[in-house]
Amino acid sequence: MPYFVSSIIAIVSAFVVLFTRYEGDNSVVISELEKVKKMILVVDSYVDTYLSAGYSINTLDAKALRNGGLLLDGSCVNNSNTLYFPHKNLTVDASCSGNSGLVAFQLKKSPTGFSSYDLYIGVSSVSAFANSKKLAENYIKKEVCEKTLLGKANLNVTELTLSAAAFGTGGNDHDGKVLCTISK
């Protein structure tokens, strides 16, 4: 009889383990996504201020925002025209030393519309998104780009290089890179 009871307990325990899924705590990812959303909205407000100050959308890029005095103190624009937000470990110089793990932004007038711009958002180096880049991309695409900014998103994009006139299309939908085209 004791063998029978212990066998039943073992079988029940095995089924409990088998049918119970561990749901990891994703509160860190959610809070980081909310921070990224706020950063994107700040960048969009920089663009609004830039345009309302009388500057042309044709000259829009991160260096133009910096030169117009529109960026927060400690924000950094490196030589490849990539904007990084203030961070306690960020050295403000031409290379933006210490930018590892930060969200990268690049801006350029969109070739598809008269009064629209392309906003590249790169979250691939953010450690909170190491295993959830696809989730981050989809959140930025749906919640920020399409719902909040009423833009159009492209997930298959690569960052702008110094020699390129437009953003590349060699990315995939799980590399942490999003291009949002926003009309103004």
pLDDT in tens, 54-63: 999 989 988 8
Question: Residue 99 falls within a domain, yes or no?
Answer: yes
Structural domain harbouring 148:
26-183
Question: Residue 100 falls within a domain, yes or no?
Answer: yes
Question: Residue 149 falls within a domain, yes or no?
Answer: yes
Question: Contact 163/148 with Cβ under 8 angstroms?
Answer: no
Amino acid letter, 110: S
CA-to-CA distance for 57 and 62, rounded, in angstroms?
12
3-state secondary structure the chain: CHHHHHHHHHHHHHHHHHHCCCCCCCHHHHHHHHHHHHHHHHHHHHHHHHHHCCCCHHHCCHHHHHHCCCCCCCCEECCCCCEECCCCCCCCCCCCCCCCCCCEEEEEECCCCCCEEEEEEECCCCHHHCCCHHHHHHHHHHHHHHHHCCCEEECCCECCCCCCCCCECCCCCCCCEEEEEEEC
* Least confident interval from 20-29, 47-56, 101-110: 20-29
Give percent above pLDDT 90 in the chain: 25
| Residue 150 pLDDT level (bands cut at 50, 70, 90) | very high
* Least confident interval from 5-14, 21-30, 39-48, 113-122: 21-30
The size of the chain, in residues, is 184
pLDDT at 78: 82
Q: Tokens for 49, please give them.
A: 């201020």
Question: Residue 14 falls within a domain, yes or no?
Answer: no
* Least confident interval from 75-89, 118-132, 144-158: 75-89
Question: Residue 19 falls within a domain, yes or no?
Answer: no
CA-to-CA distance for 122 and 175, rounded, in angstroms?
9
> What are φ and ψ of residue 76, in 5° steps?
-130, 135
Structural domains of the chain, count: 1
Question: Residue 103 falls within a domain, yes or no?
Answer: yes
The candidate with the shortest Cα–Cα distance to 182, out of 157, 135, 148, 159, is 148
Amino acid letter, 121: I
Q: Tokens for 158, please give them.
A: 């690569």
